[in-house]
Amino acid sequence: MGLRGILLIFLTVVLSVFPAYSSALDQSKVLSLMMEKGMAFDQVGIIVEDENGKVFAFNEKKHLKPASLTKILTAGTALELLGTDFQFKSQLLMDGSIKNHVLKGSIYLQNNGDPTFDSRSLTNFLTALKNQKIQTIDGDIVIDDSKQFDVQSRDTKSWQRTPNPGNYPLFVNVDPPPNVEPGSRSWKSAKKRLRRLIALNEDYIVYENMVQPDLWTGQDFLLLLRKSKIRVTGRVIRGKVPEDSAEIAVVNTPLTLVIHNMLKSSNNFYADMLIRNFAAHGGADRINMEDGIKYLDSFLDRVGVSHEDYSLYSGSGFTHNGFITAGALCLVLNHLRAQPNVSTVFYDSLPVAGLDGTLKHRMRRTEAVGRVHAKTGYLASLVSRSKSTDGVVALAGFANTSAEKYLTFVFLYNGRLSPNLVRSVFDKMCVILVTES
């Protein structure tokens, strides 16, 4: 008997163990695809549902690491807790008075948790100062993040892939040692190195690894002021905004934009900052990840996910700790799609096969292009001298079939096969869903 015959016999036995769901989906195709590529069944969790219930389920209750599929939960919590109309508000304020183009007082930067706040936001603040005709600030640049999180003591490094003119991913990282003080010679060298990298590329996004992000932001603003010939007599310091301060400028960022950017690009920093914002929204004084995770737990309670089906430690999934089941993720996806106030925002924020986000270069030239909206997940194997940990490849979202039927699906893999091989299997599964369901 040949290999194909053995495979058919094995599949017959396997399929007899699992319930037969009413659907046009050929379950044997999915299983044979996994076997042909060497995917061990005990390392996979799969579930597919339509409007009538399960179409296909395989290890749906198995505990598996979700990697960036965790961002689905973070997005759902944010949309329901904060609301689709929520906006992050960053302010530039001042005390004292302006006379003869001199501000006799300090300026204050207060971010209030906007994870997108960057040099473009600082440029908006700079424009507001210019409109006030201020040429000298006779005071300090005060950074108030007293309402903020535990970011001063944590590593905020976040990698971001972004296309450059050659259509290859560009990785830009400015990563000074932890003892580098903002404004020091080493800090200035890092800035020069960054500018040289940026000069070579037209399209870029930069995430920096820093241990004092508030002071770094203040130093960046000081550089912008000096380049614009605005003199500052004081220093960049930490402090609180006085009650009698006056607002000079404000930058508002819609939550919907943050969700869109987080899911399309799988941004870890955005996700973990959103978790901290949940705790801030709840009025906590000293905010940390543990406080925020409680709100994610509450969201899953409302959805109906059992506590036995998950254990999570971050909003991004950038950790080998924790687990969730494919069934639990499917329950969340169906819940979000059923909520009229959040479904459109969530669905439109997911990467689209062959078109954008982390699925831009996947499923091209197949029937799945434009028909699959899904979140990707990847976490490399963790290897040390004492042990090796399974890596993660995942995909979950919605498929619009050629028969105009909508499917919800979750594919989870925890193992040591090549990530590209597993991605190719999942992509082929999506094509099967789109064409044969």
Q: What is the pLDDT of residues 203-245, one digit of tens each?
A: 444 445 556 777 878 888 998 899 999 999 999 999 999 999 9
Give me the CATH number covering residue 225: 3.50.80.20
Domain closes at, from 254, 271, 303: 254
Here the tokens at position 47 are 């579930």
318 and 224 share one domain: no
Across the range 193-201, mean pLDDT stands at: 54
Q: What is the pLDDT of residue 30?
A: 86
33 and 165 both lie in a single domain: no
Domain with 281 in it: what CATH number?
3.40.710.10
Q: Which of 188, 221, 254 finishes a domain?
A: 254
Whether residue 337 sits in one domain with residue 233? no
Q: Are both 248 and 307 inside the same structural domain?
A: no
- The number of folded domains in the chain is 2
pLDDT single digits (tens) 272-308 = 889 988 988 877 666 778 888 999 999 999 999 999 9
Instruction: Answer yes or no: do 23 and 124 share one domain.
Output: no
Write the DSSP symbol of residue 19. -
pLDDT the model gives residue 352: 98
Residue 410: φ, ψ to 5°: -140, 125
Name the residue with higher pLDDT: 225 or 437: 225
For 86, 92, 261, the CA distances from 256, given in Å and listed in that order, are 8, 23, 9
User: For the residues of 271-327, what is the DSSP string, one character each?
Assistant: HHHHHHHHHHHTT-SS--HHHHHHHHHHHHHHHT--GGGEE-S-SS--SSS-EE-HH
Same domain, yes or no: 193 and 147:
yes
* pLDDT tens per residue, range 128-143: 999 999 999 999 999 9
Q: In this structure, which amino acid lies at residue 268? A: N
Whether 276 and 400 map to the same domain: the answer is: yes
Same domain flag for 242 and 290:
no
Which of 216, 237, 254 is a domain's end point? Answer: 254
Instruction: Give Cα separations from 203 to 166, 358, 426 (angstroms).
Output: 10, 17, 30
Side-chain-facing half-sphere of 100: CA atoms under 13 Å: 1
Same domain, 319 and 228: no
292 and 212 in a common domain: no
Q: What is the pLDDT of residue 269?
A: 84
Residue 169 has pLDDT above 50, yes or no: no
User: Which domain covers residue 194, as residue numbers?
Assistant: 88-254
Q: Are residues 95 and 74 in the same domain?
A: no
**Statement to judge: residues 168 and 48 lie in one domain:** no
